[in-house]
Structure 1
Amino acid sequence: MTTLINDLELDDDAIAALKALCKETRMKPSKAILAAIIAYRRMNANDRYLGTGELDTASDHPSVSKRAVN
Protein backbone atom coordinates (compact mmCIF):
# COMPACT_ATOMS: atom_id res chain seq x y z
CA MET A 1 0.00 0.00 0.00
CA THR A 2 2.89 2.39 0.65
CA THR A 3 4.02 2.25 -2.99
CA LEU A 4 0.51 3.13 -4.09
CA ILE A 5 0.34 5.98 -1.58
CA ASN A 6 3.72 7.36 -2.64
CA ASP A 7 2.83 7.23 -6.34
CA LEU A 8 -0.43 9.13 -5.76
CA GLU A 9 1.04 11.58 -3.23
CA LEU A 10 -1.90 11.21 -0.84
CA ASP A 11 -2.07 13.38 2.27
CA ASP A 12 -2.73 11.98 5.76
CA ASP A 13 -6.49 12.57 5.63
CA ALA A 14 -6.79 10.79 2.30
CA ILE A 15 -4.72 7.87 3.60
CA ALA A 16 -6.95 7.55 6.66
CA ALA A 17 -10.08 7.66 4.49
CA LEU A 18 -8.63 5.04 2.14
CA LYS A 19 -7.77 2.73 5.04
CA ALA A 20 -11.26 3.13 6.51
CA LEU A 21 -12.87 2.43 3.13
CA CYS A 22 -10.72 -0.67 2.62
CA LYS A 23 -11.57 -1.94 6.10
CA GLU A 24 -15.30 -1.26 5.67
CA THR A 25 -15.64 -2.72 2.17
CA ARG A 26 -12.85 -5.32 2.41
CA MET A 27 -11.46 -4.03 -0.89
CA LYS A 28 -7.81 -3.87 -1.80
CA PRO A 29 -6.49 -0.29 -1.91
CA SER A 30 -6.04 -0.33 -5.68
CA LYS A 31 -9.62 -1.49 -6.22
CA ALA A 32 -10.98 1.11 -3.77
CA ILE A 33 -9.11 3.90 -5.56
CA LEU A 34 -10.34 2.67 -8.95
CA ALA A 35 -13.93 2.58 -7.65
CA ALA A 36 -13.53 6.14 -6.33
CA ILE A 37 -12.17 7.35 -9.68
CA ILE A 38 -15.07 5.74 -11.57
CA ALA A 39 -17.60 7.24 -9.15
CA TYR A 40 -15.99 10.68 -9.55
CA ARG A 41 -16.10 10.45 -13.34
CA ARG A 42 -19.73 9.37 -13.32
CA MET A 43 -20.62 12.20 -10.96
CA ASN A 44 -18.93 14.69 -13.29
CA ALA A 45 -20.71 13.20 -16.29
CA ASN A 46 -24.07 13.45 -14.53
CA ASP A 47 -23.44 17.06 -13.57
CA ARG A 48 -22.23 17.93 -17.02
CA TYR A 49 -24.77 16.20 -19.24
CA LEU A 50 -27.87 15.36 -17.23
CA GLY A 51 -28.08 18.75 -15.57
CA THR A 52 -28.41 20.55 -18.91
CA GLY A 53 -31.05 18.27 -20.35
CA GLU A 54 -29.03 17.74 -23.51
CA LEU A 55 -26.13 15.56 -24.52
CA ASP A 56 -23.88 17.72 -26.68
CA THR A 57 -20.53 16.00 -27.03
CA ALA A 58 -19.32 17.95 -30.07
CA SER A 59 -16.75 19.94 -28.09
CA ASP A 60 -15.59 17.04 -25.92
CA HIS A 61 -12.59 14.84 -26.41
CA PRO A 62 -13.80 11.32 -27.37
CA SER A 63 -12.49 9.81 -24.13
CA VAL A 64 -14.65 12.20 -22.08
CA SER A 65 -17.75 11.22 -24.02
CA LYS A 66 -16.94 7.55 -23.62
CA ARG A 67 -16.51 7.93 -19.85
CA ALA A 68 -19.81 9.77 -19.64
CA VAL A 69 -21.63 6.85 -21.23
CA ASN A 70 -19.91 4.17 -19.13
Structure 2
Amino acid sequence: MPAKPKWAQIVDSIRAQIESGELAPGDKLPSTSQLCAQHGVSAIVVRQAINALKIEGLVEGVGGVGVFVAER
Protein backbone atom coordinates (compact mmCIF):
# COMPACT_ATOMS: atom_id res chain seq x y z
CA MET A 1 0.00 0.00 0.00
CA PRO A 2 1.48 3.41 -0.92
CA ALA A 3 2.28 5.89 1.83
CA LYS A 4 -0.34 8.54 2.56
CA PRO A 5 0.30 11.91 0.91
CA LYS A 6 1.83 14.52 3.23
CA TRP A 7 -1.34 16.65 3.23
CA ALA A 8 -3.39 13.64 4.41
CA GLN A 9 -0.86 12.98 7.20
CA ILE A 10 -1.27 16.59 8.37
CA VAL A 11 -5.08 16.22 8.27
CA ASP A 12 -4.81 13.06 10.39
CA SER A 13 -2.50 14.81 12.87
CA ILE A 14 -4.75 17.87 13.32
CA ARG A 15 -7.92 15.73 13.42
CA ALA A 16 -6.35 13.62 16.21
CA GLN A 17 -5.50 16.79 18.18
CA ILE A 18 -9.11 17.99 17.83
CA GLU A 19 -10.60 14.61 18.79
CA SER A 20 -8.31 14.28 21.83
CA GLY A 21 -9.26 17.77 23.06
CA GLU A 22 -5.70 19.06 22.66
CA LEU A 23 -7.26 21.58 20.24
CA ALA A 24 -10.63 22.80 21.53
CA PRO A 25 -13.40 24.60 19.60
CA GLY A 26 -12.32 28.20 19.06
CA ASP A 27 -8.59 27.42 19.32
CA LYS A 28 -6.42 28.92 16.59
CA LEU A 29 -4.35 26.52 14.50
CA PRO A 30 -0.64 27.24 14.03
CA SER A 31 0.16 29.51 11.08
CA THR A 32 0.89 28.09 7.64
CA SER A 33 4.59 28.78 8.10
CA GLN A 34 4.60 27.06 11.52
CA LEU A 35 2.84 24.00 10.07
CA CYS A 36 5.32 23.97 7.15
CA ALA A 37 8.22 23.90 9.60
CA GLN A 38 6.60 21.25 11.85
CA HIS A 39 5.87 18.88 8.98
CA GLY A 40 8.71 19.74 6.61
CA VAL A 41 6.40 20.58 3.71
CA SER A 42 5.57 23.52 1.43
CA ALA A 43 2.76 26.02 1.99
CA ILE A 44 0.77 24.43 -0.85
CA VAL A 45 0.69 21.11 1.05
CA VAL A 46 -0.43 22.83 4.26
CA ARG A 47 -3.17 24.75 2.41
CA GLN A 48 -4.40 21.48 0.86
CA ALA A 49 -4.62 19.95 4.36
CA ILE A 50 -6.46 22.98 5.78
CA ASN A 51 -8.93 22.90 2.86
CA ALA A 52 -9.62 19.21 3.55
CA LEU A 53 -10.28 20.01 7.23
CA LYS A 54 -12.63 22.85 6.20
CA ILE A 55 -14.57 20.46 3.95
CA GLU A 56 -14.90 18.05 6.89
CA GLY A 57 -16.23 20.94 8.99
CA LEU A 58 -13.48 20.59 11.59
CA VAL A 59 -12.00 24.06 11.08
CA GLU A 60 -13.09 27.42 9.73
CA GLY A 61 -11.02 30.24 8.33
CA VAL A 62 -11.42 33.87 9.33
CA GLY A 63 -10.01 36.15 6.64
CA GLY A 64 -6.84 37.89 7.72
CA VAL A 65 -7.02 36.37 11.21
CA GLY A 66 -6.37 32.63 10.94
CA VAL A 67 -7.90 29.18 10.98
CA PHE A 68 -9.82 28.05 14.06
CA VAL A 69 -11.27 24.78 15.34
CA ALA A 70 -14.98 24.80 14.49
CA GLU A 71 -17.69 24.47 17.13
CA ARG A 72 -19.14 20.95 17.19
For the criterion TM > 0.5, the same-fold answer is: no
Which structure has the greater CA radius of gyration?
1
TM-score range, shorter chain: 0.3 to 0.5
Bigger relative CO (Cα 8 Å, ≥ 6 apart):
2
More strand by share: 2
Instruction: Return the structure number with greater helix share.
Output: 1
